[in-house]
A = this chain, B = another copy of it.
């Protein structure tokens, strides 16, 4: 690809040859919107409204309580876990969909502390999306442990004989940098520590091989690249070799060995069910299946190939057409180190992103100065990349971002 010669026609031609092109038609992308924020909230599959209607009107409204058995509600966390497993290199019986990423990480960090008694340190990336770090701080405070926050290049060296676990997000939410799962997991194991991975920004975005990397425990969300819907329940992975011994502290009836016996004493289920706690939000949970089915139908190698091509094209176009406008690439230039997003720093990033959103190009802003664009290969086209940059060029050259209404900073989720 010659950065100085990418035309819209070339992008359209790439779309014509795209083996994933047909997937776009399975999603709703609103008229006039170029959606580059699927790394924050994935787009809605066209099948989602009908699925929601079936769960609400039929399973709840008509079948009522009988749906716990007849519609398989009680088994959904396991069924969906098995559905996601191949997307993250896990086996059936190692994954459940339940609760939130933060609650699930609490369970796993707690379990990890028990699996490495006497060790005190949990190592996380300091600039990580902070909820994982907050949860680790909560566990550490509760158990007299120490949270060690280091930056990317210092993680490996921070691991020592007092480390009980590393708890690392696979793809950095802000920069899109991929942390080396195989190498860091091996390094942790060499020191006798556990490796916990957060897949929020990698599950569904790139091939993930938890078992191939010998990962111990993992969490992730389903509402970004897995298109499960707003706040859809999260997933949790426990490697088979740990299932018999790993124990989480939020011991509710869904994690009991025999939940319907209603015995007074808690007895942990001997399998992944132990990591469940209470009754799950069935409507939201059901929608996870719609997104997961689409992702399973796509070949993850093709997803990754297209993802790299999309981000390469975007970087090339921005650097070619906005060279005069002060954008600094924050994401890794090497595609092998980059997830499915591109971030640029710009001193007026906030106003620029507001101007873009007003013109239908939806990315997001991350303080203090980062504009972030997510590229979800199932529904973003090469022509969208070209058009998005075209709008960016216009916003910069017209000075539209200087409009007073873009100046005030508001909460951006």
A residues sitting closer than 8 Å to B (CB atoms) are 28, 30, 33, 35, 37, 40-41, 43-44, 48-49, 52-53, 55-57, 59-62, 64-69, 73-74, 99-103, 106, 110, 126-127, 129-131, 133-135, 137-139, 141-142, 149, 221, 223, 229-234, 249-256, 260-266, 277-285, 287, 357, 362, 364, 366-367, 410-413
Contacts and interface: CB of A to CB of B under 8 A. Distances in A.
Contacts of A223: 279
6 contacts: A48-B56, A73-B413, A106-B249, A126-B264, A221-B279, A233-B281
Contacts of A59: 230
Contact of A135 (B67, B103, B251, B282): B251
B62 A28 contact: yes
B413 A281 contact: no
Contacts of A110: 142
B282 A230 contact: yes
Contact of A279 (B100, B249, B250, B282): B100
Total identical chains: 2
Contacts of A61: 28, 30, 43-44, 48-49
A30 B58 CA distance: 10
B56 A262 contact: no
Contacts of A56: 44, 48-49, 52, 229, 287
A408 to B, nearest CB: 13
B231 A64 contact: no
Contacts of A133: 264, 266
Contact of A49 (B53, B101, B279): B53
A221 B279 CA distance: 10
A265 B137 contact: yes
The 7 A-B pairs with the shortest beta carbon distances in the complex, nearest first, are A100-B278, A102-B252, A281-B284, A102-B278, A138-B251, A68-B413, A230-B282
Q: Which of A33, A149, A278, A280 has the most CB of B within 10 A?
A: A278
Given A102-B250, A265-B137, A279-B221, A60 B73 contact: no
Nearest to A100: B278
Contacts of A135: 250-252, 277
A266 B135 CA distance: 8
A60 B37 contact: no
Contacts of A64: 30, 33, 35, 37, 41, 43-44, 362
Nearest to A45: B61
Given A69-B413, A230-B282, 10 more contacts: A30-B64, A44-B61, A48-B56, A52-B56, A55-B230, A102-B250, A137-B266, A138-B250, A139-B249, A229-B282
